[in-house]
Amino acid sequence: MKYNSTARSRSSRPDIRKSFRSVSKKTSAAPKTPGPAGGQVTRREKSAVVRLLAGRGHRLDQLLRIAGLARSTYFYHLSHPERVTRADLEPLVGEIWGRTPNGCGHRQVRMCLVHEFGQRVSAKSVLRVMRRMGLRCAIRSRNPWKRYDSYRGETGDHVHNLLKRDFGAARPFSKLGTDVTEFKVAGGKAYLAPVYDMASKEIVAWDVSRSPDLGQQKRLLAMLAERLPAGAEPILHSD
């Protein structure tokens, strides 16, 4: 019987380890969890709430289990209070930021602190102070490392889609289509701009150029105007 009890105790050790690991995983919560109003509750904030409730007579172990905090994490936050970064700079930062109607960024604020007030401070420290004060520049410059984008929104006149993907035509010079195609040739590239008649299936005008500029389109339209029959009012479609 003694041997059996020893074997039973040894066989139960893996279960104890598994339960200990599961409890450890439950207590090691994420650094931030969703709050009741959709915000983020940090471990430091949880520790402050646990300390407040523990001072009112509640058991500490139950509070830590409900909050999902490890005991070591709780006592670490008690022994290491949060330090406020450069609180002495808040009046100067507020004065510099308020000089312009839309405020200014943390780099400009840091430059003024260094050269005007003789403060030794890094840009990250100024950024922390501005975030704590709720100061943010309303004008943001473009990122110089961002890929170039030529799109500038809706500019010029808006042309409606008259064809609505109906590319069939009953008579010539009623519906025309145009586009620019790039070809690789010896010594560079060439660009072909044709005008396609959707009724006769013919190329009624064209132009070849080294660059797809406005001059090519002007030459193409001039050639098309010479070949248009009298009384024709075509729809020129382009993507």
Q: Where are the domains of the chain?
A: 25-82, 87-133, 175-226
The share of the chain scoring above pLDDT 90, in percent, equals 43
Least confident of 6-15, 72-81, 162-171, 208-217: 6-15
Q: What pTM was computed for the model?
A: 0.36
> Two tokens at 134?
């709720």
Provide the pLDDT for residue 142.
Answer: 65
> Two tokens at 88?
């002495």
Q: Summarize pLDDT for 74-91 with one digit per residue, the tens.
A: 999 989 888 888 889 999
Confidence class for position 113, pLDDT limits 50, 70, 90: very high
CA-CA distances (angstroms) from residue 194 to 154, 179, 180, 223?
26, 6, 7, 11
Provide the pLDDT for residue 16.
Answer: 31
CB count, 10 Å around CB of 59?
10
The average confidence (pLDDT) of the chain is 81
Provide the pLDDT for residue 151.
Answer: 74
Confidence class for position 141, pLDDT limits 50, 70, 90: low
What are residue 194's phi and psi, to 5 degrees? -100, 165
- Consecutive H or E run containing 176: strand 175-178
- Consecutive H or E run containing 74: helix 71-79
Longest CA–CA span in the chain (Å) reads 116
> In angstroms, rounded to a whole number, what is the distance separating the alpha carbons of residues 155 and 117?
46
Overall average pLDDT of the 38-44 stretch:
75
Q: Is the dihedral of CA 144, 150, 156, 161 positive or negative?
A: negative
